[in-house]
Each structure stands twice: as structure tokens, then as C-alpha cells.
Amino acid sequence: DTGVSQNPRHKITKRGQNVTFRCDPISEHNRLYWYRQTLGQGPEFLTYFQNEAQLEKSRLLSDRFSAERPKGSFSTLEIQRTEQGDSAMYLCASSLSAGTGGQSNQPQHFGDGTRLSIL
């Protein structure tokens, strides 16, 4: 299967711990997105990469959150000093884009997410 893969699927941790999630996009996709989704809500944009460059971050993104895509392939999202409010599903998506910035109209292909629970 060549879809978007996210690991782990579930993560339970104590408040104050650091967590890291991984996303492997569809190999030919140059764009990679991270979203957060809570129960009963739609995905909320966090950040996106075009190749290895991080082009946009949400104003809502705390400085405890950092994302990387070092070789323009897989990406990691780290949350430091986790808080109760960080409990959510973290979704990764990838797409193709011909442009060098701005939003793309191309469909996004989502992984099945990492569900984070903070105790």
C-alpha cells in the first residue's frame, strides 16, 4: 500500500513528557501537512512543508510544537512538555503541488492519524 502512513497509531503519555510522531507521505508528493482534530470538530491546520521547507505555521501553533521534514520525505511532529489540552488526533496529509507556495487545490491524502492521550 502506498498511502500515507502514521506512527504510532496511539500514544498515551503523562503530562509534561515529550512525544514525537512520524508521518510517511505518498512518495511522489512534495507537500506534507499536519493537522490536529478533536472530537466533533474538523481537522485544524498546524503546518505544512513543500519538500523540506516549512512554508507556513498556524498562529495557533504553540512554541512547544515543532515539525521537521529533513530530506523532503518523511516528517516528524514533536510536542514538548505535553499538556492536557494537547490530547487529540494528529493527522498528516500529503499532496502534489506545482506551485512554490500558497494553498494548493490538489486533493490531500490523509493518514489515519496518531491519537494522543495525556494522562
Name beta bridge partners: 72.
none
Sign of the CA dihedral running 48, 73, 12, 14: negative
How many whole angstroms separate alpha carbon 49 and alpha carbon 60? 17
The least distance separating another protein from the CB of residue 41, rounded to whole angstroms, comes to 5
Report if residue 98 touches another protein, rule: CB under 8 A: no
Q: Is residue 85 a contact residue for another protein (CB under 8 A)?
A: no
- Residue 45 interacts with another protein (CB under 8 A)? yes
Q: Kindly indicate which of the ranges 11-19, 35-43, 60-68, 70-78 contains the residues binding another protein, using the contact rule CB under 8 A.
A: 35-43
Closer of 70 and 102 to another protein (Cβ):
102
DSSP 102: S
